[in-house]
Structure 1
């Protein structure tokens, strides 16, 4: 295999990996409940008319802390990747695992990929064209821990590796820092009656608000904020659709980044259900670390 082909494959996979991690890490505000399901659509109680917008958002954000797994759908625009759509299942406890099928709509035949995160490794699976560039193998493996320590994956994979272990519900707390949270109205999302709230918040303001948090919480949220800073994002416009049980049914974040707009809408389908992710067969997988080592050796 020529180095130029390897390099092309690596760059494609790097872009897909970073986008996947961003999407997973940005899965904001999915929440948990005692019954672990939102299927009781008609039973959801109406929001109290006396609840102020800021209080409603804060309550939904607080409910996100106990989430263990989620299933969501995504549509939006990601800097450098363009338009994307995806559907994913992710487990946060007891160990992190994710399975995502993603399509980059502006990248033609090479824009569809399946991403699996399991056992601290990320796997990217493409179609027949990818297999032609990888000696017939359909998957490429990224050992995130090893790449982060060695720097072999460069800045993009380093950022991705740093985001891989993040609870995707973290960003749900960010809208609580907005000073202009307001109620937009009531809307039905996936058959569920919700109340729509919106607001804007600066990344620096979010970072400053973390001073009162405990060390562990502060470090986790700062790591998430670092991803936005690296993209050149200064402020976020955020929308939350909260159901009658104070759970976020849908979430949208918009921002101007250095390399294009960030605009992602997540719709939460279910949560706190078992999520099992299996690694692809080793015989059908090419290890990035071995690819890089071979390239460096000529």
Structure 2
């Protein structure tokens, strides 16, 4: 099995990040930027699904672009296509999360090394049981709720309105601020237990990358939703700079598992290696 393709896929999981659901009452001139961002974060829990496109740069991977759909309720599901533009054919990967099972597809390169099978299957329940089947952090990123990161800007002490801009032809108001991971942890004390747990997992992902501080921007449209989100930081493996643009909020999302005949099970592969 060609190791570079799965490795590229796992690295691409770092990109499953973004923010949706922030809102601001554009009809209320008395609302401060900090108050608008705080109010916006409360709407995140109302999201059921969304589609987003992303572009930017990630540590150790370089320039990237991609698109994804995610369903949060009633049960989580995710489909993502990602391209690492500086890595050639091995930089393209597709990821699906269906019924707590993660699938990574490396295309033709993976199929050549796996008897025609172009998908690798990771059972996240088994992974959680003993941590042996795949990288736990990568599995967590595949399940990451990008909407949860919308609340990050509420931890900033310097939030300010940065003008108005058109995004995809939509009028938006932009908010900017800088937040440290310590600030983010302090803000979790104001959240309920479930939201605090999700927030802690998001923070740990940035700690793993060596990021201490994030510069953030939100573009909020007239319907009180984030249309675009940008996050920048200095990581151990290089700069982090991701921009995510959102579409089709709360519209139906369907993600299907790949055909069984095209899928290799990682657990079975490891058992075969053990027997060998």
TM-score exceeds 0.5: yes
Aligned mate of 2:154, from 159, 168, 176: 176
| TM-score, scaled to structure 2 | 0.93
TM alignment of 1:123-142, pairs within 5 A: 123-142=103-122
How far did 1:46 drift? 4.8
Asked if 1:293 corresponds to 2:276, the answer is no
Contact 1:148 1:162 (8 Å CA) reproduced: no
- The count of corresponding residues between Structure 1 and Structure 2 is 276
Q: Alignment RMSD, CA only? A: 2.0
Distance 1:14 1:289, change over 3 A: farther
Aligned mate of 2:15, from 23, 29, 34: 23
| TM-score, scaled to structure 1 | 0.86
How far did 1:138 drift? 1.3
Runs of 4+ displaced beyond 4 Å: 44-47
Which residue matches 1:75?
55
Contact 1:31 1:64 (8 Å CA) reproduced: yes
The secondary structure found in structure 2 opposite 1:169 is helix
Deviations 1:140-163 (A, max 9, x none): 111122123322245xx2112234
Unaligned runs of 5+ residues in structure 2 are none
Distance 1:215 1:45, change over 3 A: closer
Contact 2:6 2:106 (8 Å CA) reproduced: no
Deviations 1:201-260 (A, max 9, x none): 000121122223332222121111111111111111100001122211100001111111
Distance 1:240 1:45, change over 3 A: closer
Contact 1:18 1:159 (8 Å CA) reproduced: no
Unaligned runs of 5+ residues in structure 1 are 1-5, 34-43
Contact 1:32 1:272 (8 Å CA) reproduced: no
Whole-angstrom CA distance in 1 between matches of 2:18 and 2:60: 19
Whole-angstrom CA distance in 2 between matches of 1:78 and 1:165: 19
Asked if 1:210 corresponds to 2:188, the answer is yes
Whole-angstrom CA distance in 2 between matches of 1:145 and 1:105: 32
Contact 2:50 2:250 (8 Å CA) reproduced: yes
How far did 1:32 drift? 8.2
Which residue matches 1:225?
203
Whole-angstrom CA distance in 2 between matches of 1:12 and 1:126: 6
Aligned mate of 1:247, from 225, 242, 247: 225
Aligned mate of 1:54, from 34, 44, 55: 34
The secondary structure found in structure 1 opposite 2:248 is strand
Whole-angstrom CA distance in 2 between matches of 1:60 and 1:216: 18
Identify which range, 195-204 or 49-58, moves more after superposition: 49-58
TM alignment of 1:105-144, pairs within 5 A: 105-144=85-124
Whole-angstrom CA distance in 2 between matches of 1:77 and 1:249: 20
Whole-angstrom CA distance in 2 between matches of 1:197 and 1:105: 29
Whole-angstrom CA distance in 2 between matches of 1:183 and 1:215: 30
Distance 1:31 1:209, change over 3 A: closer
The secondary structure found in structure 2 opposite 1:161 is helix
Contact 1:181 1:199 (8 Å CA) reproduced: yes
Which residue matches 1:278?
256
